[in-house]
């Protein structure tokens, strides 16, 4: 049986409403999108990896991969 791609989490209604107000007119399409984004940020800070490439090197490698047809 395939694991579901999404699972529900419950948050207090007051917090939900606060977020609903906050994201009005922003790029966030839903409270779920906002909560997911914030949680990802928190978790990725905890899990911060050493960056392999400097910004300049990353651009260089991306350009090369584009030129090689792996990215476009």
Partner 1 sequence: MSKKVFVIGLDSAPAEIVFNQKEKFPNLKKLIDNGIYGNLTSSHPPITIPAWMVMCTSKNPGKLGLYGFRHRKDYSYTNIWIATSESIKEKTIWDVLTEYGKTSCLVSIPPSYPPKKVNGYLISCFITPDAEKDYTYPLELKSEIEGKFGSYKFDVKFRTNEKEKLKEETFHMTEQRFEVIKYLLRNKNWDFFMFVEIGVDRIQHAFWKYMDKEHHLYEPNNKFERIIIDYYKFIDEKIGELLSILDDKTSIIVVSDHGAKRMKGAFCINEWLINEGYLVLKNKPSQITSLENVEVDWTKTKAWGWGGYYARVFLNVEGREIGGIIKPKDFEKEREELAQRIKEIKGPNGEKWETKVFKPSDLYPEYRGDYPDLMVYFDDLYWRSAGTLGHPTLYLPENDTGPDDAVHAQEGIYIIYAPWKNVKERKDAHILDIAPTVLNLMDIPIPEDMEGKPIT
Residues lying near partner 1 in the complex (CB under 8 A) are found at 2, 5-6, 27-30, 32-33, 35-37, 40, 44, 49-50, 52-53, 57-58, 60-62, 64-72
- What does the alpha-carbon distance between residue 32 and residue 6 come to, in Å, rounded to a whole number? 11
The two most distant CA atoms of the chain are separated, in Å, by 52
Nearer to partner 1, 2 or 21 (CB): 2
- What does the alpha-carbon distance between residue 45 and residue 11 come to, in Å, rounded to a whole number? 22
Nearer to partner 1, 21 or 72 (CB): 72
* In the complex, minimum distance from the CB of residue 14 to partner 1, in angstroms, rounded to a whole number: 20
Nearer to partner 1, 6 or 14 (CB): 6
Please name the residues in contact with 31: beta carbons below 8 A apart, sequence gap of 6 or more: 16, 19, 20, 23
């Amino acid at each position: 049986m395939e694991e579901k791609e999404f699972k529900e989490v419950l948050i207090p209604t007051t917090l939900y409403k606060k977020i609903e107000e906050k994201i009005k007119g922003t790029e966030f399409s839903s409270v779920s999108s906002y909560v997911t984004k914030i949680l990802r940020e928190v978790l990725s800070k905890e899990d911060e990896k050493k960056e392999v490439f400097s910004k300049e090197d990353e651009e260089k490698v991306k350009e090369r991969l584009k030129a090689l047809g792996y990215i476009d």
